[in-house]
């Protein structure tokens, strides 16, 4: 027998555990053995990417990193966020030659200092950036810092186009994204940001769909994103005619990217539009602010069959049907939009979309406006998956954080933990019971003795699926600035089959 066989088998087993991707099939009846149940193990590596925060010279951006404490992770590992391009040799040469505004070299090898370097799980760490030159960031967490790693990017712009609070949870790279809710109307300036974390260039296609279907654009084909770099593509340059409601589809031909749409409005402020959950027959859009003055639903069907959707609002007392908006018909390949007005009428609410008959996969998002007249501000709420085992929202303050929990089916019990503060404080936890078919806005628990910012971690304990979002607000000169982040499962653990050596396969 070849002496390399045993190490090879062991190496394959180790690779499965590290990557978090594995499959297991039950042996046939003649195999004589039964496969053991897969173990739920913490992931060992996580990548997150943050787009360039703003083109405004007066933008102030805060970054917050947090990893919840996870069992069985050991004591090793690290995490850091660095400027996109910093890992590229060409970028390092350019930096040494030309320098960078506010770059902050570490004096040892000429490289940039990381924007954030967490010290331990369970405690947030923060960083700041100012102005229009702040770059996109590429982050990697390993070992005990990897499971559930969350990074929040929050930018405040006091004046100008897109004035407001722009926030997003930095996201993992992927290859397919849907963004219903974008636009190229004359008052809108929308960019799709594509960030590549890898050592080779990525190539992506940007497709746009309006109310009448696909919009032809050769410019959006084959967009190249260099290694460790970020590209911002202005949507209005891809098509000729302005479109009030667009669905943006980003597909990656080679490599992988993180994608997000930055939407700026002349009068209604701006925010980040993150990707909708994968196309599904039923969708949940959680956490419409109770004082929303305008709510616009945008939906799209990627397939070839039309969709008929029942529209319901999960309120604090149960599900109700918005008067005049009982259903929504969405034609295949076309973007549909409807104004729901002040649908929440002063109460917490989440939108539930379900098929009236045959289930057809759809994607959807809400554009939400608070305030009136010249004091209006915008945020987006895309459809999102359930919390699952755990989800985290970083960057919460002593005031201005509202957690929204919705149980679209059965009731559920949920544990919410406020971490220690970035500058001090002791973690606290509270348990909430959410009745089926309702949305509850809970005043987020605050760590005792809080100094700085903190993270909120949501963990369902029993009952049916729970969907969640966090609204962060900061009023400025009478403008109700706010941003909403949805909280899908953090995918901090993965099922890994039990691997054993079986040398008998070499004799067959």
The lowest-confidence range among 12-26, 163-177, 182-196, 266-280 is 12-26
Q: Which string of DSSP letters, residue by residue, matches 423-442?
A: SEEE-EEEEEEE-TTEEEEE
Write out pLDDT tens, residues 319-356.
999 989 999 999 999 999 999 999 999 999 999 999 99
pLDDT at 19: 39
Q: Which string of DSSP letters, residue by residue, matches 119-185?
A: -STTS-EEEEEESTTPPPEEEEEEGGG-TT-EEEEEEEE-SSTT-EEEEEE-B--BSEEEEEEE---
Provide the 10 A C-beta neighbour count for residue 491.
16
Q: Which CATH superfamily includes the segment(s) 283-491?
A: TM1070-like (2.60.290.11)
Calpha distance 90→67 (Å, rounded)? 32
Token readout for 110 is 């000429």
pLDDT at 16: 37
- Is it true that 44-273 and 283-491 share their CATH fold? yes
Write out pLDDT tens, residues 213-259.
999 988 999 999 999 999 999 999 999 999 999 999 999 999 999 99
Q: How buried is 31 (Cβ within 10 angstroms: 0-12 exposed, 13-18 middle, 19+ buried)? A: exposed
Phi, psi (rounded to 5 degrees) for 246: -130, 150
Residue 109 has pLDDT above 60, yes or no: no
Question: Are 317 and 438 contacting, i.e. CB atoms less than 8 angstroms apart?
Answer: yes
User: Residue 104: which pLDDT band, with cuts at 50, 70 and 90?
Assistant: very low
What is the H or E stretch that residue 118 is in? Answer: none
500 or 495: which leads in pLDDT: 495
Residue 194 has pLDDT above 80, yes or no: yes
Calpha distance 426→421 (Å, rounded)? 7
User: Residue 96: which pLDDT band, with cuts at 50, 70 and 90?
Assistant: very low
* Cα–chain center distance at 298: 18
Q: Which string of DSSP letters, residue by residue, matches 236-294?
A: GGT-SS--SSEEEEEEEEES-BEEEEEEEETTTEEEEEPPPPSPBSSEEEEEE-TTEEE
Domain chopping of the chain, boundaries: 5-41+495-507, 44-273, 283-491
pLDDT at 85: 77
Write out pLDDT tens, residues 35-80.
566 778 999 999 999 999 999 999 999 999 999 999 888 889 999 9
Helix intervals (H) in 307-428: none
Q: What is the mean pLDDT of the chain?
A: 88
CATH number of 44-273: 2.60.290.11
Q: What is the CA radius of gyration of the chain?
A: 23
pLDDT at 220: 93
Residue 115 has pLDDT above 60, yes or no: yes
Residue 263 has pLDDT above 50, yes or no: yes
DSSP state of 8: H
Write out pLDDT tens, residues 295-312.
999 999 999 999 999 999
Residue 23 has pLDDT above 60, yes or no: no
Share of the chain above pLDDT 90, in %: 76
Provide the 10 A C-beta neighbour count for residue 436.
16
């Amino acid at each position: 027998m070849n002496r390399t066989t045993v190490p090879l088998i062991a190496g394959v087993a180790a690779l499965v555990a590290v990557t978090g991707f594995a499959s297991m099939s039950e042996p046939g009846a003649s195999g004589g053995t039964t496969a053991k149940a897969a173990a739920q193990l913490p992931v060992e590596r996580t990548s997150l990417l943050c787009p360039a925060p703003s083109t405004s010279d007066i933008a102030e951006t805060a970054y917050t990193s947090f990893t919840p404490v996870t069992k069985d992770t050991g004591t090793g590992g690290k995490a850091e966020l660095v400027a996109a391009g910093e890992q590229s040799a060409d970028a390092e040469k350019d930096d040494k030659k030309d320098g960078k505004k506010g770059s902050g070299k570490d004096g040892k090898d000429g490289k940039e200092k990381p924007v954030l370097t967490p010290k331990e799980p369970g405690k947030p760490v923060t960083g700041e950036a100012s102005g229009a030159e702040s770059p996109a960031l590429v982050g990697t967490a390993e070992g005990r810092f990897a499971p559930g790693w969350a990074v929040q990017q929050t930018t405040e712009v006091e004046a100008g186009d897109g004035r407001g609070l722009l926030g997003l949870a930095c996201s993992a790279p992927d290859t397919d994204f849907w963004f219903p809710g974008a636009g190229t109307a004359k008052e809108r300036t929308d960019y799709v940001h594509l960030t590549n974390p890898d050592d080779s260039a990525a190539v992506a296609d940007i497709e746009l769909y309006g109310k009448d279907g696909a919009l032809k654009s050769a410019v959006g084909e084959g967009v190249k994103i260099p290694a460790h770099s970020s590209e911002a593509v202005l949507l209005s340059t891809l098509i000729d005619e302005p479109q009030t409601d667009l669905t943006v589809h980003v597909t990656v031909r080679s490599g992988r990217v993180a994608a997000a749409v930055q939407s700026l409005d002349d009068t209604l402020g701006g925010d980040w539009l993150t990707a909708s959950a994968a196309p599904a027959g039923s969708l949940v859009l959680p956490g419409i602010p109770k004082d929303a003055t305008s709510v616009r639903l945008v939906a799209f069907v990627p397939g070839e069959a039309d969709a008929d959707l029942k529209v319901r609002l999960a309120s604090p007392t149960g599900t109700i049907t918005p008067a005049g908006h009982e259903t929504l018909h969405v034609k295949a390949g076309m973007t549909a939009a409807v104004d729901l007005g002040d649908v929440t009428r002063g109460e917490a609410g989440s939108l539930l979309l379900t098929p009236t008959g045959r289930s057809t996969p759809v994607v959807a998002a809400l554009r939400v406006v608070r305030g009136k007249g010249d004091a209006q501000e915008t945020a987006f709420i895309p459809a999102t998956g359930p919390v699952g085992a755990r989800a985290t929202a970083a960057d919460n303050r002593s005031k201005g954080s509202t957690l929204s929990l919705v149980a679209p089916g059965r009731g559920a019990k949920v544990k919410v933990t406020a971490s220690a503060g970035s500058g001090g404080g002791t973690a606290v936890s509270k348990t909430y019971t959410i009745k089926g078919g309702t949305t509850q806005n809970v005043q987020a628990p605050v760590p005792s003795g809080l100094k700085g910012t903190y993270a909120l971690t949501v963990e369902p304990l029993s009952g049916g699926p729970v969907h969640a979002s966090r609204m962060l607000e900061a009023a400025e000169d009478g403008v109700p600035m706010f941003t909403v982040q949805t909280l899908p499962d953090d995918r901090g653990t993965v099922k890994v089959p039990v691997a054993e050596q079986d040398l008998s396969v070499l004799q067959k």
